[in-house]
Structure 1
Amino acid sequence: MKKTTQFLLMAVVLLFSTVMMAQSTITGTIMDAELNSPLPGANVVEKGTTNGVSSDFDGKFKLETTTPTGQIVISFVGYSSVTLKFTGSTNLGNIKLTPDNSLDEVVIIGSGVIDLAEGRKTPIAVSTIKANQIQEKTGTSDLPEVLKSTPSVQSIQGGGFGEGQMFLRGFDQVNTAFLLNGQPINSPEDGRMFWSNWSGVLDVAQAVQVQRGLGSSKLAISSVGGTVNIVTKTIDRKEGGFLQQMIANDNYTKTTASYSTGLMESGWAFSALLGHWQGEGYVEDTDGQGQTYFISLGYKANDNNIFNFMITGAPQWHATSGFYNLETLLDNGRKFNGFTNNNGSYSGVNSPNLLQSGRYPAGRNIYHKPVANLSWDLTINDNSSLSTVLYASAGRGAFASTQRTGSAGSRVATYARGSNNNHNWYGLVTNYNNDLNENLSLNVGADVRLYNGIHFRSVNEFLSVNSVNASSNYNGGAYQLTEVFGGINPWNVFFNTNDDHAQRFGYDYEENINYMGVFGQLEYAKDSFSAFFQGSASTQSHIRTEFLSVASEGQSEESDKVNNPGFNVKAGASYNLNASNVVFANVGYYSRQPFHSDLFVDDRNSNQLNPFVEGNQKITGLEAGYKFLGDVVSANLNVYHTTWDNKIDYSSRDTDSNGQADEFTQTSPLKQVHMGVELEVFTRFAEGLNINGFVSVGDWKYDGNITTRTTDDTGAVISQGATSYIDGVKIGQAAQFTAGITADYEILPRLKVGANWNQYDNLYGNSDFSGAEFATEDNRGAIKLPSYDTVDAGVSYKMLLGKNDDKSLQMRVNINNVFDEVYIENSRDNIHVDSGDVAWKGVNVDNGVRFGYGRTWNFSMRYNF
């Protein structure tokens, strides 16, 4: 009996131990959240143990756990880890990992106004570049260069730091809307973007989203070509930071430091980034230097209220280059800078602000335009929320053009003339979102912008004289300029502004542009179908105040107030044929107010309204798309047709290569038609290998002829009423055929190599409409420039220095234009080749052109902690 009792007791103990030690079987499939494709080789570990497995080629895994309940941690190099609970044997289904530095690592402030495509179920033509890609590929470039592997995007590097330009579906960046955390940053005066003023934005960007065509933005913005939304860091969920040092060709160096406290238990969070850069520039005598600062202070009062204050700026100066005759560049090389060379020896210059070459530049850009915003995200209840962003910017800066005397080869620089473009800009964007039911959502909001632009000329620096005689426009008398404002230091330009009208000359005026709009969106989504309708209405007022060309000194003259209403409507629908196939179509119409620069005959010298302006611009957009989401291959196919009517074109030309525009041309209303097709393909054929590609084919032409009016920089008319025969002429500056392939391969853990190839064809000369090439009906149209292709490559390695990937040392080398391709990136002119003319690759050497950069490189080392 005793033995029987012992046996039964032992059996109970063994049975209990077996139950306590029972294993659970956890299965699932690990997916890339962006590409919706499997992630082979991902690590799956039972938390608190060394028990783990890796996912197979199809992303699948099977883990036998040591306990019946617990947690598993799923991680993959370059992706944010995921922790999941389990109870007993479980199939977790598809588990999606998001790339490192994704939006999930940040509490998005003002999310209701940022208008990312993911916030709407009905698709659009969109490409998103995340922070890790930006970090790897930026180097010394501006944002347009980072986006050049996006369909229908063309990047032009420009002659100096921050002078890059971007074209989207053939539209320049004046007519592409750029948003910073949902707030417009194109100039309200003329829509222009100056990347030199935003040179630090990529240091703080969490993601950049390119929405081609109609896009998802609800604001009434200048999005003819599309919308580029830059989302910056705000409140990081986790504590950390980095120190980075970069060096590059032409003595470029950049030092950056960043730290974030993460969201603390108190609800507060703080992030800051500081940086300094300097270099001599790829083109000779285009030296530059600047700083970047970013400060974000957030407070999460509770689950329903999040506040954030952010301020960022990029004070900088850089010397400039420009267009030169092709013959001159072929004789002197791609790095030739005629701005400086045309000014001879600069004898007699007494300045501490010489370039590394010992010369003083003919033109220098000096600006500081910080922007600050205060955001409030309010969760009202489970179905509704309110996001509000109040922002302000006080920009100060000038283009300092060197004035000189004497003959070529022995010119003396006398002073640096500053063409000042300052502003005070305030705005508010607020958006209320309500999920009316499980299928229907409503967004309504308001958009207010108050803008004061201040424009004049003054002296930035005396070089070989102590004063300058100026003539007065108001009474024909002469007066002396004896004071210097700002110099070349952007901080001095910002804090030492010229408020004395008696020390201004050339032109002196202000404008006040006030904009008020409302917008709304209704979206329906059920099962496989979704549809939306968007609309906005706005009013915009303009007042111009003249201080120089007035009846008597000390007075000012105000223009009549111009009021322009505008609106836009957009609608679309999509249908999921199945889990892998989606089709959609969108349509939109914009009645867009003319820019301030369009409204006046000469906005620098006159309050007279431009008779060419005939109401609002009219933009009609049609687009359709197909998305395929496969396990190994995914693809997007888009077609579009955009008509832009009643547009006023305003162009400037530097005729003597001194870095300052001295001819200005306005046109009667013109019409452009842009149509095309875009294909993107994403693949993941093997572990660690990504191969993506795109092809864009466009057909962009002018429709109808126009008349022009050209003035010099004093407002005097050079020509008026001339007809430019541009009907059917190809629209220039951007290639109408682009293609590219990007490949990245992780050959060893955390060691990655990559390259991208880009092809450009059907690129035409710029039509500025004032040239003789379009003076007759039998003109030969725009010249066609040679096609070209470039290859960029990079290698990166991430060395782990701590547990759980919390500390690392990351190194990156980039080589751009690996094969040193010589190519014309755009042409200012349209001079055709006639008998006896000299040509290079079919282009007349008398054309003013700009070459793309040759081979360049950069190396960075980044310590993450």
Structure 2
Amino acid sequence: MKTMKNWLLSGLLFLVVSTVFSQGKITGTITDGQSTLPGANVAIAGTSASASTGFDGKFAIDSNTNSGQLIISYIGYASQTVDFTISNGTANLGNITLVSNSNELSEIVVKSSVVDIAKDRKTPVAVSTIKASEIQAKLGTQEFPEILKNTPSVYAVKGGGGFGDSRITIRGFNQNNIAVMINGVPVNDMENSSVYWSNWAGLSDVTSAMQVQRGLGSSKLAIASVGGTVNILTKSSDRQEGGSIGSSFGNANYLKTQVSYSTGKLENGLSASVLYSHTQGDGYVDGTEFVGDNYFIALGYTTKNNKHDFQFTFTGAPQWHDQRNSSITIAQYQKYGSKEDPNTRYNSDWGYLNGKAFNMIRNFYHKPVGSINWDYNINETSKLSTVVYGSWGRGGGARGAGGVRGQTYTSDVFRTVDGLVDFDKIQAYNSGQATVFADGANTTRTEINGNYQNSSSTGRSGTSGNYVYNTTSGISQISSINSHDWYGAVINFNKKFTENLTWDIGLDGRTYTGIHYQNLNNLLGADVYFDNTDVNNPNRVLTNTYTTKPSGNPFANAKEGDKINFNNDGNVNWYGAFTQLEYSKDNLTAFIQGAVSQQGFKRVDYFKYKTTDPLSSTDYENILGGNVKGGVNYNINEQHNVFVNGGYYSKQPFFNAVYPSNASIVNPYLVNEKIMSVEGGYGFRSGIFTANVNLYYTTWDDRNLRTNDPNTGANPGGYYDYTGLGETHMGVEFEGNVKVTDKFRVNGMFSYGNWEYSGNANSTLYNNANEELSKALLYLDKVKVGDAAQITASLGASYEVLERVTFDANYNFNDNLYAAISPDKFTKENNKGSLELPSYGLLDAGFSYKMLVGAKKNKSVNFRINVNNVLDEVYIAESRSNIFADDFISGTSGPTYASAGRTYDGVADANQVFFGFGRTWNFSLRYDF
């Protein structure tokens, strides 16, 4: 009886325990109706239990409850809640289909409130999202920002065509006025807000998703988001356990190899993720060889109670690449090709030296960035997010210096018959050998104090018509070094007052030192280099030369070695505060933001001023700026929503506007730039069709701008400073996606802009010694803003012909493309406006195949082929000059370019242009485990 009693008590206890602590396994497969979704997050509501899907889209998760709800999320798809009930220890939910939502990033991915991610049908801004899978598949040999070219109002071009030299505009605003954020950290240069994509060439390897917010955006910081904000989220250290090994190759000897591994979150809360890649190639454009590396290290720790989450990341991409930088006219492309078939790959900056390819123009840089993110869940209603970061940029750009009898290295006298620079001839002349130039001149160089001495002199002095030439000067390769040390922190406190009202307040602090000087790279056969620009140490004769390859040391000395021509620092301090109040209830979301910042600008010059001169180190010029913006989104029902937003910026000018002409005297006419913008939008969502339509209107007054002088033959290295520029940008945008069937999808976009200058402006022309040459009033009212297509459209489709076998194609069209303004064309009120370039369209196509491998089919081998510009379209992507076909070739009379037959596709052949790339391809193979 006692035994029976004990058995009954034990059985009862087991029944109670099993009821309370019963465990079961929930399984299923996540798809998008077309293919499985690896890496989707599956979590049991109300618990900390979560799992990720494997490469076959399958998941398994243990549950301590017999029933409940799963919350399933994946970047680019709407989150879904699924009920489950465990029976006999299991619950198989079968296939679960997520609905594509290209405008949403899962909140589970974004843990930090420092990162301002727009949420679909909630945040009232115009936004597009590019998923990691699309970047990984379709980028190929394209530059990282080019993946954005099929989003509305974005124009992406390759510039001169060197590795990482691409650029984008959004709504007609160049990337100096587009805020680029990586995990909530601003990366635009603090002196001029530039973004050099060659410094971020490895971002495509580590990006989880990229979101483009057009217009003022939702960022709480007082940043330069005039045209838009590009938010880039990199892979976190607590991503799913596994790794990949891959390689890709393409045209022009392109080769890339990559390896990565992540531990996943361990039981002790630690996690790690690492990646390394190497890329090299000859470049599509002649003479643009490149080599780049990328490393990424992420370490994470989460406490058991999930109150604290720490993430450390350190990434860098040391690279060097030869460039095409000198202005080339259409006539030159035709000269080294043919009139009907110009040589669009022609590069006037390279040739051969001692039997090896040599380019005078080279960019080399290493910009490592480290950050520590700390997210502290204080309680259920309060959260503190902090990021502390640092960046240590080292490197610069090489170019030619000096000349021979007034001719620089790009002059025709140094050209071979096929248009290359004859560097052997330059070296022979520099070293004192009798040299016959292409123009027939026979010259022997003259020594100075027993040496063949180079300098910045071109060998010509005096004024036009009265020039004096010498035979003592030579040609060198020198570099402009633009290094920096940058430290900053962003702190955001998030408080949920009620279920409907949330408040954010925070601080943004940064300190930046830009280090600028030139050094000597190659004497090209000469003995010494003479420099007389340092007033504290004049008449120096130098022989030390320095490499044009980046240092692998992320903390290398930024001021090492001899300096020539100029040597100065630009110091910028930034102190900012911001706040946001957001109201969300039922179908209504509204927010209002405000931010204020004080920027201090200080210039230190070691060459131009005596050390005893107060101008050698200025005080900080402090300028206050800020913004206010707000918006409302209303969800009419589950399918329709509308939104409006508006804002006003008072934006501090760039460093070179505070201290014009590279001198230490503050601009007496310094004013903040003023931006006002309003926008409205409509969205439609269904299981088959999604669409967004946006209207915007933006004005920009008192803009400051610096551009290179397009007439570089007359003024090599010269530049223009503009003041008082005004612009008005307005337009309409459409973006849509259709799921025709589970296997066939179509996407498209269209944008129409009307971007014009408003009022007149002033320009000042400087030479490369920063001496003022001329001033002019520019009549720009109603002139079209150039450098971007004002009409863009794309249509794309993907079709899964067999399981995990997909073909895709996309056609991108660009029209109303205008040249950048060249000031000499706008000094009269009756000018012809901006030069319109021919429209063009490009077809890209790709093929993907994923093969599941391994005993459990939880690994995959991925094949991808990309072909860009399938039809090999020849097109002009940009022009630096504004010469019309009906302009006179010389003076005010005589033949015009059109009457003389000197046009190409209706464009005068004297225009300085860059053609886009012809057909390119790449093939990639990746093993995911």
Normalised by the length of structure 2, the TM-score is 0.80
Q: Decide which moves more: 244-253 or 228-237.
A: 228-237
The one of 640, 664, 668 aligned to 1:607: 664
Return the offset for 1:120.
8.9
Query: 1:411 maps to which residue?
Result: 426
Query: 2:177 maps to which residue?
Result: 175
The one of 618, 631, 634 aligned to 2:674: 618
Give the Cα–Cα distance (whole angstroms) in 1 for the partners of residues 72 and 122 of structure 2.
Answer: 28
DSSP 3-state at the match of 1:465: coil
Return the offset for 1:484.
2.7
Confirm or deny: 8 A CA contact 1:474 1:553 kept in the other structure: no
Query: 2:8 maps to which residue?
Result: none
Return the offset for 1:556.
7.7
Question: Counterpart amino acid of 1:830?
Answer: N
Return the offset for 1:526.
1.2
Is 1:569 aligned to 2:584, yes or no? Answer: no
Query: 1:423 maps to which residue?
Result: 484
Structure 1 unaligned spans of 5+: 1-25, 33-37, 48-67, 350-356
Is 1:743 aligned to 2:800, yes or no? Answer: no
Return the offset for 1:480.
1.6
Identity of aligned residues (%): 42
Give the Cα–Cα distance (whole angstroms) in 2 for the partners of residues 818 and 245 of structure 1.
Answer: 22
Structure 2 unaligned spans of 5+: 1-25, 43-65, 337-342, 405-412, 416-424, 431-474, 887-894
- Give matches, 1:336-735, under 5 Å: 336-340=346-350, 346=353, 358-403=356-401, 406=404, 407-409=413-415, 410-412=425-427, 415-474=476-535, 477-491=538-552, 495=556, 497-500=558-561, 503-551=562-610, 557-603=616-662, 606-613=663-670, 615-653=671-709, 655-656=711-712, 662-720=717-775, 722-735=776-789
Change (3 A) 1:29 1:497: closer
DSSP 3-state at the match of 1:559: coil
Give the Cα–Cα distance (whole angstroms) in 2 for the partners of residues 106 and 573 of structure 1.
Answer: 20
Query: 1:58 maps to which residue?
Result: none
Change (3 A) 1:258 1:812: same
Question: Counterpart amino acid of 1:784?
Answer: E
Return the offset for 1:571.
0.9
Return the offset for 1:471.
1.4
Query: 1:321 maps to which residue?
Result: 324
Is 1:765 aligned to 2:819, yes or no? Answer: yes
Question: Counterpart amino acid of 1:715?
Answer: N
Query: 2:260 maps to which residue?
Result: 258
Query: 2:115 maps to which residue?
Result: 114
Give the Cα–Cα distance (whole angstroms) in 2 for the partners of residues 482 and 744 of structure 1.
Answer: 59
Confirm or deny: 8 A CA contact 1:234 1:271 kept in the other structure: yes
- Give matches, 1:52-451, under 5 Å: 85-86=84-85, 97=98, 108=109, 111-118=112-119, 121-159=122-160, 160-302=162-304, 303-322=306-325, 323-332=327-336, 333-340=343-350, 346=353, 358-403=356-401, 406=404, 407-409=413-415, 410-412=425-427, 415-451=476-512
Query: 1:839 maps to which residue?
Result: 903
Give the Cα–Cα distance (whole angstroms) in 1 for the partners of residues 102 and 749 of structure 2.
Answer: 25
Query: 1:799 maps to which residue?
Result: 851
Confirm or deny: 8 A CA contact 2:103 2:120 kept in the other structure: no
Return the offset for 1:468.
1.2
Give the Cα–Cα distance (whole angstroms) in 1 for the partners of residues 808 and 256 of structure 2.
Answer: 23
Return the offset for 1:41.
9.8
After superposition, the C-alpha distances for 1:255-294 in whole angstroms (9 at most, x for unaligned) are 0100000011111101000011110000000000010000
Change (3 A) 1:657 1:746: farther
Return the offset for 1:103.
9.7
The one of 766, 778, 781 aligned to 2:833: 781
Confirm or deny: 8 A CA contact 1:339 1:657 kept in the other structure: no
Change (3 A) 1:70 1:392: closer
Question: Counterpart amino acid of 2:334?
Answer: L
Return the offset for 1:235.
2.2
Give the Cα–Cα distance (whole angstroms) in 1 for the partners of residues 102 and 651 of structure 2.
Answer: 37
Question: Counterpart amino acid of 2:310?
Answer: F
After superposition, the C-alpha distances for 1:15-72 in whole angstroms (9 at most, x for unaligned) are xxxxxxxxxxx9x99995xxxxx769999xxx9xxxxxxxxxxxxxxxxxxxx98999
After superposition, the C-alpha distances for 1:321-371 in whole angstroms (9 at most, x for unaligned) are 033101111333011001125xxx64xx5xxxxxxx822102000100100
Q: Decide which moves more: 547-556 or 631-640.
A: 547-556
DSSP 3-state at the match of 1:139: coil
Confirm or deny: 8 A CA contact 1:655 1:662 kept in the other structure: no
Question: Counterpart amino acid of 1:180?
Answer: I
Give the Cα–Cα distance (whole angstroms) in 1 for the partners of residues 70 and 704 of structure 2.
Answer: 61
Question: Counterpart amino acid of 1:307?
Answer: F
RMSD: 3.3
Give the Cα–Cα distance (whole angstroms) in 1 for the partners of residues 655 and 254 of structure 2.
Answer: 38
DSSP 3-state at the match of 1:133: helix
Return the offset for 1:122.
3.0
Change (3 A) 1:383 1:94: farther
Confirm or deny: 8 A CA contact 1:326 1:849 kept in the other structure: yes
- Give matches, 1:24-39, under 5 Å: none
Give the Cα–Cα distance (whole angstroms) in 2 for the partners of residues 380 and 481 of structure 1.
Answer: 61
Return the offset for 1:91.
14
Confirm or deny: 8 A CA contact 2:816 2:839 kept in the other structure: yes
Confirm or deny: 8 A CA contact 2:76 2:106 kept in the other structure: no
Give the Cα–Cα distance (whole angstroms) in 2 for the partners of residues 136 and 567 of structure 1.
Answer: 40
Give the Cα–Cα distance (whole angstroms) in 1 for the partners of residues 642 and 604 of structure 2.
Answer: 52
Change (3 A) 1:110 1:657: farther
After superposition, the C-alpha distances for 1:578-625 in whole angstroms (9 at most, x for unaligned) are 11000110010011111112111212xx10122442x21110010000
DSSP 3-state at the match of 2:872: coil
Give the Cα–Cα distance (whole angstroms) in 1 for the partners of residues 172 and 276 of structure 2.
Answer: 36
Give the Cα–Cα distance (whole angstroms) in 2 for the partners of residues 176 and 74 of structure 1.
Answer: 33
Normalised by the length of structure 1, the TM-score is 0.86
Confirm or deny: 8 A CA contact 1:106 1:236 kept in the other structure: no
DSSP 3-state at the match of 2:630: strand
Change (3 A) 1:266 1:531: same
Give the Cα–Cα distance (whole angstroms) in 2 for the partners of residues 652 and 372 of structure 1.
Answer: 33
Question: Counterpart amino acid of 2:426?
Answer: R
DSSP 3-state at the match of 1:215: coil
Question: Counterpart amino acid of 1:411?
Answer: I
Change (3 A) 1:727 1:745: same
Return the offset for 1:380.
1.0
Return the offset for 1:111.
1.9
DSSP 3-state at the match of 1:359: strand
Change (3 A) 1:787 1:224: same
Return the offset for 1:806.
2.4
DSSP 3-state at the match of 1:328: helix
Question: Counterpart amino acid of 2:706?
Answer: Y
Question: Counterpart amino acid of 2:328?
Answer: Y
Q: Decide which moves more: 804-813 or 490-499.
A: 490-499
Give the Cα–Cα distance (whole angstroms) in 1 for the partners of residues 75 and 752 of structure 2.
Answer: 36
